[in-house]
């Protein structure tokens, strides 16, 4: 079995507009796993994902990919290894879905039709291949955007809220694909607001609170009711069983 690659954040500090967004965040993520980053609004989840993708200037600390600082890796090589899906990605022009997905091949400087076709088939996008993106539903659009990332066959998939606009069937389908990608050796890092999705599908959950790591570990530990109460200020309990948890929130009984 091959040795997993590592994406490592060490002592990350990031400020935006003079305000510290990430404070001394250290993480060590391995390929072959699904990691969810959770936290309340403004906790720094998206910034952490951008930092892992090498897209924000760091005040201090470093992100290392396979032991090498991201900043030292040439942009195209980095792009082939790290696939990044931003939150609420806007699509500037009304391109057809197939052309949108083909953009994922840009880091490879090729137009590998077979890979694009496979990804579109896997994400149930072939029926819309020629459709302009303006004519897609929110869910179809979210799948097309994720397909663009997958078409680059990156070693790491860093996605910010990829499941937010999807119905439960497509959420399930997409999570399966992301899990499959992880099984196939990719490192999957997702920013998720839905704690139940994180609990049920992530191997590891990193909880951020005000730019610091509040909890880190498997779902049962990182999203224990006591931690949710402390970080989100919400009383809750987990219902159901392994892989089918649902979060019940409300005033304490």
User: Given the complex with another protein, which of 97 and 227 has the nearer CB atom?
Assistant: 97
Q: Are 158 and 83 in contact (CB under 8 A)?
A: yes
Place of tokens 């909880």: 207
User: Given the complex with another protein, which of 113 and 229 has the nearer CB atom?
Assistant: 113
3-state per-residue secondary structure call for 109-142: CCCCHHHHHHHHHHCCCHHHCCCEHHHCCHHHHH
Q: Report the distance separating Cα 203 and Cα 35, nearest Å.
A: 6
Q: How far is the CB of 251 from another protein (least distance, A)?
A: 39
User: Given the complex with another protein, which of 158 and 247 has the nearer CB atom?
Assistant: 158
Q: How far is the CB of 30 from another protein (least distance, A)?
A: 21
Signed CA dihedral, 210, 213, 217, 220: sign only? negative
User: Given the complex with another protein, which of 75 and 252 has the nearer CB atom?
Assistant: 75
83: left (phi over 0), alpha (psi -120 to 50) or beta: beta
Please give the structure tokens belonging to residue 177: 């694909």
Q: How far is the CB of 100 from another protein (least distance, A)?
A: 7
Q: How far is the CB of 86 from another protein (least distance, A)?
A: 5
The contact set with another protein (CB under 8 A) reads: 50, 53, 55, 75-76, 78-80, 82-86, 89-96, 98-107, 111, 113, 116-117, 120, 126, 129-130, 132, 145, 148, 152
User: Given the complex with another protein, which of 80 and 201 has the nearer CB atom?
Assistant: 80
User: Given the complex with another protein, which of 47 and 196 has the nearer CB atom?
Assistant: 47
64: number of Cβ within 10 Å: 17
Q: How far is the CB of 223 from another protein (least distance, A)?
A: 28
The DSSP result for 20-58, as a single string, is EEEEEEEEEEETT-EEEEE-STTSSHHHHHHHHTT-S--
**Residue 249, φ and ψ in degrees, nearest 5:** -115, 160
Q: How far is the CB of 58 from another protein (least distance, A)?
A: 15
166: left (phi over 0), alpha (psi -120 to 50) or beta: beta
């Amino acid at each position: 079995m091959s040795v997993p690659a590592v994406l490592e954040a060490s002592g990350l500090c990031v400020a935006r507009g003079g305000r510290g967004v990430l404070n001394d965040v250290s993480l060590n993520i391995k390929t072959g796993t699904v990691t969810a980053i959770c936290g309340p609004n403004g906790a720094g989840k998206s910034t952490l994902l951008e930092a892992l993708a090498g897209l924000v200037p760091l005040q201090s600390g470093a992100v290392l990919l396979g032991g090498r600082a991201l900043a030292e890796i040439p942009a195209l090589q980095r792009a082939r290894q790290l696939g990044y899906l931003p939150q609420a990605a806007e699509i500037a022009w009304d391109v057809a879905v197939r052309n949108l997905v083909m953009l994922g091949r840009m880091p490879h400087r090729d137009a590998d039709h077979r890979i694009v076709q496979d990804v579109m088939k896997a994400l149930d996008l072939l029926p819309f291949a020629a459709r302009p993106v303006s004519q897609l539903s929110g869910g179809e659009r979210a799948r097309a955007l994720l397909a663009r990332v997958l078409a680059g066959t990156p070693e790491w998939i860093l996605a910010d809220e990829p499941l937010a606009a999807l119905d439960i069937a497509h959420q399930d389908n997409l999570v399966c694909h992301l899990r499959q990608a992880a099984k196939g050796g990719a490192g999957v890092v997702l920013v998720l607001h839905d704690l139940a999705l994180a609990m049920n599908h992530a191997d590891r959950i990193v909880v951020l609170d005000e730019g610091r790591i509040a909890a880190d570990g498997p779902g049962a530990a990182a999203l224990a009711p006591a931690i949710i109460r402390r970080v989100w200020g919400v009383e809750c309990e987990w219902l159901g069983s392994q892989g089918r948890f649902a979060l019940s929130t409300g005033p304490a009984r």
